[in-house]
Amino acid sequence: MRRFERVARRAQRGVILFIALIVLVAMSLAGIALMRSVDTNVLIAGNLAFRQSGTMLADAGIEAARAWLNSNTTQLSNNQPGGFTAYWASWGAGLDFIKATAATTDDYDWSTAQSVASPDPAYDILYVIHRMCEGTGDPATAGATCMKSTTLAGSSASGAGSKGVVTYGSQTLPGTSAVFYRVTVRVTGPRNTRGFVQALLN
């Protein structure tokens, strides 16, 4: 009986080592897969952080465009007034700001855009302004068809309005018009980060 036990024990020698090696290889593969997954997640998180930073910095371009519009209210009927190459008095139908199409003839030339001093030196901020009109000229004339917002009269601090008043031969709620301006901002940064933000101002 003891002789048979010795033979069985001799036959089983090395099996545990083989199983241990298989388990070790499997655990090594699982560890490598886990490391790759963590590296990918870190890379994605970093890219999202760069993108969010670029989007937040685009506010600087929008505010710079607003300041320029406020200081040049009498020169907005024509393209590039005073040599300011980032302003267009028409909406630029068909322009491709982000090079989304294969054609290059409709790509916007960002070399004419206005640069803004970025709070983060790793990012570059450019903006361009388009007046939301079909063509150039005074929007008060029939020659320039524009997108306008209407501010109702009587909305002043005095509280006096025309709500409920019916007047024959005139509008019940007369208003004044303000033309919309589309501001397009491009932000470029590390790791080929490139973001675009648009805002409508009036």
Between 52 and 10, the more confident residue is 52
Predicted local confidence at residue 172, as pLDDT: 44
Task: Provide the percentage of residues in the chain whose pLDDT is more than 90.
Answer: 24
| Cα 173 from Cα 42, distance rounded (Å) | 57
Confidence of residue 154 (pLDDT cuts 50, 70, 90): very low
Which DSSP category does 23 fall into?
H
Between 49 and 193, the more confident residue is 193
33 pLDDT more than 60: yes
Predicted local confidence at residue 2, as pLDDT: 60
Confidence of residue 45 (pLDDT cuts 50, 70, 90): low
pTM, rounded to two decimals: 0.66
3-state secondary structure of 40: helix
Quick one: which of 89, 92, 122, 120 has its CA closest to 107?
A: 92
Number of domains in the chain: 1
| Cα 106 from Cα 80, distance rounded (Å) | 19
Which DSSP category does 146 fall into?
B
* Encoded amino acid at 38, one letter: V
Domain of residue 73 covers: 2-201
